[in-house]
Amino acid sequence: MRKSVLIILITLMSQNIFAQKLISKIDSIKTEKEAENLIHTLDKDYEDFKIKKIADFKEERGENKFCKNIADSLKIDNSFYKADFDNNGYTDLLIIGEYYDFKIFVLMNYGNDSLKINRLTRRSFQNCTFPKITNDSIINYYYFSEPHIFSEEKSRLTKKDLIFKFGDFVEYNSKPNSYHIEKIEFQTTMCYGTCPQFFISIDKNKNGVFKAENYNIDKSKGKVEVKGKFNTVITDNDYNELISLLNYVDFPNLEDNYSVNWTDDQTSTLKITYNDGKVKKISDYGMIGTYGLDRIYSLFFDLRFNQNWK
């Protein structure tokens, strides 16, 4: 009798566990071609994307199969992987391939077949990188650091642990600090092109100032260019998200300067006043110094048009 009851309980538990898994179109993907076609159907800009294993890429580092050897040592031998990076119950898809150069995309799954493409490789002219998934949510991301074009430093294999938080992948932090942030200032420069040039400051009372200088295009209003100086009180949700993200990335311990290894790009300056007048200033040429900073910059770009500026 007890044995029968135990079997029933185990069966019910198993059914409950499987019921927590929310099935979507990603779960049905079995082949490389199916994964590649999914990218093509989601965004026409990526119709030329070709799925590839890391071992199949032609390397610029000679005939020693350097990238293949590292991928083999990490046991990254597939061209796509499934995981639930944001723990929402839906299966996401990490896919490796070629789109003009080496690319890794993550298709984030928000249910009801709502998928969003997230580009894990953020740098241009990047050789192979290596995403190793652990615990169904963390990406141990191995890549070759690229010194500035005028630097004498050598490229080296580097690792970051990435987690999906605050709407994007950021560097994992197991013990975030909590700083008393008094003021945040963000400034962008021009580039060789149409990079938006603007300044935003936010104080601890959520008072915001926006100075729109050049190429601040509001697509929601028919691609109207916004210019001038504006003021508002930042919404609680947007302010709290920004503060939480700054604390999570542990901004005082980031580098003071970041730079990509190419020219004619945009520079941003992030200045944070905190803990009774301490100042942290981060200059970032290319604006991809870290994944966490990349997300912070995106929030500032969004603030230009998602607040009630007057």
Residues 194 and 158 in one domain: no
Residues 100 and 205 in one domain: no
In a domain? residue 175: no
What DSSP letter does each residue of 246-285 carry, written as one string?
HHHTTGGGS-SEEE-SSSS--EEEEEEEETTTEEEEEEEE
Residues 137 and 34 in one domain: yes
Last residue of a domain, one of 135, 165, 195: 165
Residues 205 and 257 in one domain: yes
Last residue of a domain, one of 165, 200, 232: 165
In a domain? residue 13: no
Residues 98 and 190 in one domain: no
Whole-prediction pTM:
0.88
Last residue of a domain, one of 134, 165, 196: 165
Laid out side by side, the sheet with 257-259 consists of 228-233, 207-214, 197-203, 181-188, 267-274, 278-285, 257-259
Residues 153 and 118 in one domain: yes
pLDDT of 22 reads: 78
Residues 76 and 130 in one domain: yes
In a domain? residue 17: no
Residues 238 and 134 in one domain: no
Block means of pLDDT (10 residues each) for the chain, length 310 residues?
50 44 88 97 95 86 73 96 96 96 95 93 85 95 72 76 98 96 97 95 98 94 92 98 98 96 92 98 96 98 97
Residues 301 and 212 in one domain: yes
Residues 151 and 201 in one domain: no
d(CA 301, CA 167): 14
Residues 275 and 207 in one domain: yes
In a domain? residue 170: no
Domain that holds residue 64: 24-165
In a domain? residue 81: yes
Q: 3-state DSSP call for residue 60? A: coil
In the chain, how many domains are there? Answer: 2
pLDDT of 151 reads: 56
Q: What is the CATH number of the domain that holds 210?
A: 3.30.1560.10
Q: Choose among 153, 172, 96: nearest CA to 129.
A: 96
